[in-house]
């Protein structure tokens, strides 16, 4: 396992989880992810990615929500866990993310090549 793979797994564990409102997709839109995260997402043809981008959406958002939820990128996991990316519906974990963990996530995002999902 590479350093980036270990770091990604560690960072994913450090992000608190919470329950969203059923049917809400306010956080689903065009995002960037590291090449490592992209490799873990299901393949989407270019036409699907282009259509999602034109609709200001995510190609992994299906009729029943995120079709890549277990492998969603760090930025998707971070949404709602920090005041900087707060949920417009007020959903949040019992305890927001630790500032050091959030800093480490942003450092990972800066040091890894990011691509549009």
Averaged confidence pLDDT in the chain: 94
The arithmetic mean of pLDDT across residues 81-109, rounded, is 96
Q: What is the pLDDT of residue 53?
A: 94
| Cβ 35 vs Cβ 112: under 8 Å | yes
pLDDT for residue 52 is more than 90: yes
Q: What is the pLDDT of residue 24?
A: 87
Q: What is the pLDDT of residue 83?
A: 94
Q: Where are the beta strands (DSSP E) in the chain?
A: 32-34, 61-62, 65-66, 114-116
The arithmetic mean of pLDDT across residues 78-87, rounded, is 95
pLDDT for residue 87 is more than 90: yes
pLDDT for residue 43 is more than 90: yes
d(CA 15, CA 62): 24
pLDDT for residue 56 is more than 90: yes
62 pLDDT tier (thresholds 50, 70, 90):
very high
Boundaries of every domain in the chain:
3-116
Q: Helices 99-111 and 3-14 sit at what angle, rounded to 10 degrees?
A: 150
d(CA 36, CA 33): 8
Instruction: Return the structure tokens found at 84.
Output: 């900087």
Element (DSSP H or E) covering residue 85: none
The reported pTM is 0.92
């Amino acid at each position: 396992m590479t350093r980036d793979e270990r770091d990604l797994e560690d960072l994913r564990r450090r992000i608190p989880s919470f329950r969203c409102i059923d049917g809400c997709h306010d956080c689903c839109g065009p995002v960037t992810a590291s090449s490592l995260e992209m490799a873990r997402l299901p393949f989407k043809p270019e036409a699907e990615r282009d259509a999602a981008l034109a609709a200001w959406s995510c190609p992994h958002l299906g009729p029943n929500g995120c079709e890549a939820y277990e492998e969603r990128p760090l930025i998707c996991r971070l949404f709602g866990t920090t005041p900087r990316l707060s949920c417009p519906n007020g959903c949040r974990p019992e305890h927001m993310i630790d500032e050091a963990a959030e800093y480490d996530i942003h450092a990972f995002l800066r040091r890894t090549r990011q691509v549009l999902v």
